[in-house]
Amino acid sequence: MKVNDVLIIGSGVAALQLAALIDQDKNVMILTKSQIKNTNSYMAQGGIAASIGVCDHPSKHLADTLEAGRFHNNEEAVREIVSEAPLLIQDIVKQGDIFDKDQKGDLLLGLEGAHSEKRIVHSGGDATGKNVIEYLISKLTKNIKLKENYFAYELIMDHMEERCIGVKAKDQEGAIHCFYGHYVILATGGCNQLYRYSSGAQTVTGDGIALAYMAGAEIADMEFIQFHPTLLYKDGVTKGLISEAVRGEGAVLITEDGTSIMEGVHPLKDLAPRHVVSQTIFSYLEKGQAVFLDICSIPEFKKRFPTISAICEKNGIDLSEGRIPVVPGSHFLMGGIKTDLVGRTSIKGLFAIGEAACTGFHGANRLASNSLLEGLYQGKKLSQLIHSNEDCFHIPVFSEPVPPAAERKADLPDIQILKDLMMKRVGIVRCKELLEQQRDWLLEWNVTDFADLDSYSVEDLTAIFMYINAYLMTDSALRRTESRGGHYRSDYPNESDNWCKKTIIHKHKGDVVIHHEQVETEIFA
């Protein structure tokens, strides 16, 4: 049995930043369910937020992040990450010339929604994620082994030590493999594919969150889903993301007759926080009115946004008309596996970084271009922890699992049914009646009681994990009786002081806990 020093599940920006910074005297294993580049990080268009402008300062970045997060954020976490942001950018600039610059050689800075200054560092116009991931892949050294198309489905626990020591995974043929590590890191992303309209990669189905939950780790803030306001919409289907940077360059949201929909809604108009813009678009769609991005004011649109232009043209959108049809769709999960800033979970030996983790950085709604930043930060800080930690505990020898005699089928409705119902009942606008319908429907299928996972196919395991995440999201949304950030309830349309800083935490086979920073922990019976 080979034990890795570091075992990473996932291949987004947080995972690859961590792997690239691990000393070469340590052996590292990366498992990814698909190809290494098939991630949300690779698809990220906008950029990385960092206060490096002449008139900018981390205190401004802090204020903008707290405002967007509706003050549900862990303020110390926000202060730490935004203060580190300029250095993280400098680290990449020194080693890889990938960011866009002006004729003087200075970094070009873009503006996105809810930012008070131009601070978005970008690459290739709107190909930041792609270029950052390519850069990180180029930094991987020979001590790092990559296994693609391995689906991790169960954490291996040393119950005597109450520690995570590895993970079970299935290959493309369904064979079971066990991988062990002194540090087990979940970097599997969020769960945006739980909704009918989604901006992300097809692989992002909440696997890591479900893995951690079933192992007994604490899961937090699952009600806070960010719906990106502008997904390309054609023939009843979303076709890709239209970056917020397009509105940062001057695009305006309009109806068919040219009416500006954000006028008078928010002081920042089209650059209002994402939950405000998404809810406004949704209100027009509910009335049967289509919404478009008017890009006529942006000079040389195709040059500034080559990736977006290619997506539009591929899907038959004539950009010369100056209008792009859009709808909001699920984009980012502010909640996830509860961790500290470095990625420690409530289980020894288990870490989570990137979108799979909930550090409190994003609060109730993520500020644009803070996600790649968080991934870079956590990857760097966790690498430093690993280098400084000499806790090389003994990992016991376990016998390899015996292949199941027969494959079982998960008794669950088709995934498309789940996606449609999540969009309808746990989507942009929520209420008690629909949330209760969804929770009761999910409980009919005993979604939190699956066990003996060895005998399920990868397809069924994916469905099981999606249903687990759907339950966690629905139950959290039902419990939070207010509106805050990405969580909007029509029956509780305002923020409530009673809910300020309260976090809903789920733990498998245990009570749901609501933790408050200033008061005693409360337990729901």
Helices 458-479 and 207-215: crossing angle in degrees, nearest 10, is: 80
DSSP-assigned beta bridge partners for residue 430? 489
Distance CA(459)–CA(129), nearest Å, equals 28
CA distance 92 to 369: 16
391/469 Cα distance (integer angstroms): 33
User: For every residue of 427-474, which 3-state class applies, written as one string?
Assistant: CCCECHHHHHHHHHHHHHCCCCCCCCHHHECHHHHHHHHHHHHHHHHH
Give CA–CA dist 344/359, Å, rounded: 10
Angle between helices 128-138 and 371-388 (to 10 degrees): 20
Exposure of 502 in the CB half-sphere (CA atoms within 13 A): 24
Cα–Cα distance list, 359 to 221, 287, 343, 428 (Å):
10, 38, 8, 23
CA 297/CA 277 separation, integer angstroms = 20
Task: Provide the residue type at 295 as one letter.
Answer: I
Task: Kindly state the helix (H) or strand (E) to which residue 329 belongs, with its residue range.
Answer: strand 323-333
What radius of gyration do the chain's Cα atoms show? Answer: 22
Q: Tokens 């306001």 sit at which residue? A: 229
Which positions are annotated as active-site residues? 274
By the 8 A CB rule, do 39 and 90 touch? no
Structure tokens at 230: 């502008």
CA atoms of 240 and 222, how far apart (whole Å)? 24
